[in-house]
Each structure stands twice: as C-alpha cells, then as structure tokens.
Structure 1
Amino acid sequence: MHVRAMVWATILAELVGVLLLGLLLLLMRLAPGDWTEGVAWTGLPVLATVRPPLEYFGRRPPHRARGAAAGLLTFVVLGGALLLVTGQWVPADEGLDGVLAMMLAAPVATGVFAAVSGPAAAR
C-alpha cells in the first residue's frame, strides 16, 4: 500500500507544481514588460516531486539507502529512455521534452524507491 501512496503523492505534487508555475507565469505575463524571457521555467514542476521521497526517507524505512539508489537509477534510466521517445514528438527548443520525460519517470522512480525501501517505521 505504501508504494501506491508514494506514486499518488508524487503525481499530486507534480500537478500542484504545474498549477503554481502556470499561475506564476500568468501573473508575470500580466506585469508590464517581458520578465519571463530567457528564464528556464520548464524544470520547475519537477522540483515539486522531491518532497514525497524526502518525507518518506525521513520516516526511516529499513532499506532506505538501497531504495534511494534503486529509485535514482530508475529515474535516470527511465528518464533517459523517455527523453529519447519524447524527443521524437515534442519540440526540443522549449525544453518540454525533458520536462515531460522527467514528469513521467518521477512517479515510477518514487514507487521503486518505496518498494525497495520497505514500509516506513510507525511514528
């Protein structure tokens, strides 16, 4: 059950990150001048996915070092493979192919992290 909860928490964190980024960009577009030019905004929604694994890591699951290594390896390998696939359909000039690949790989990686780490200690 903890694996499913981690995956859903990561997906929810991604959606909240995208919504907050969209609101921030809308507010900045309404301001006079073009403040958003040259800023790499596309990577910010992925930063929201860091919170669920860190909270789970802090609850001290029994095999957390092995789980963190497995989750990171899954994120890198699956993210790289998805980047190759999304690069075929999404234009790379905006960087959206990388964000899409990371947003698809992050829930899977946190699920692997939770599965390998084992259930967290009760508080």
Structure 2
Amino acid sequence: MNSLLKGGQGQISLSPGHPASRLQFRKANVQKLGPVTPSGSFQLLLDKGTWDAVARGGLPGAHQMLLECLRVLSPQGTLIQFSDEDPDVRLPCLEQTCRGCTVTVQELGPFGGITYFAYLVKSTH
C-alpha cells in the first residue's frame, strides 16, 4: 500500500491533495499497537469489521482491541465502528470498556435487507 501511495507498480499516486496530509499505511496487531504508534496519535479511527472478527475469538480479545484504540486516540478523538451487530449486544460491551467516553449509535440502512449501525465512541476528557 505504501508503494501504491507513492505511485509505484505503475499505479497513479494515491497521495492526498492537501499539503498538510500525511497518509501512511501500517500493518499492526490491533491488540498491541504500541510498536507502531504512540498514545494520543489519532483524531479518528474507523473500524469496519475488525471488532466483529476479533470478538469471534472471545470478548477479552475484543476488549483489549478497544483499549488499544482508546489509547491511541487523542483526547478529542473519535472511534467509529461500522457493523451489522445489534446495539443490544454491542452497546453494553462498548459502555463497559469505554468508561469516561460517550457511546452512541446511529442506524444505517437497511442495505440489501441488512441493517447496519455506526457506533461512535468519543472521549469526554
């Protein structure tokens, strides 16, 4: 992806147009982000299916993932999770782990008969 970002492999450059943009791709274990990024590094984190996949291995792993996401968010940062998981299941998990945060949900869809949700976790610090 970094090669594509720079226009390598015969591709058109994916470089952002805004001069202040600093787009980078990093491969990391979402439960252990320390080796690739310090605390408070991000204003926005988007999760499309990562929580769903990690939670299938057990909620302790999903909670660890969430704690790492919260660690790398800036004090004004926001985590947005997109999922088809019902709020009755997801919200208690998020609220339990994200103490000191505001957790809200927005219904998106339905699309193709499936209702999707956007779960927003915003620090209240």
Normalised by the length of structure 1, the TM-score is: 0.25
Larger relative contact order, structure 1 or 2 (CA cutoff 8 Å, min sep 6): 1
Normalised by the length of structure 2, the TM-score is: 0.25
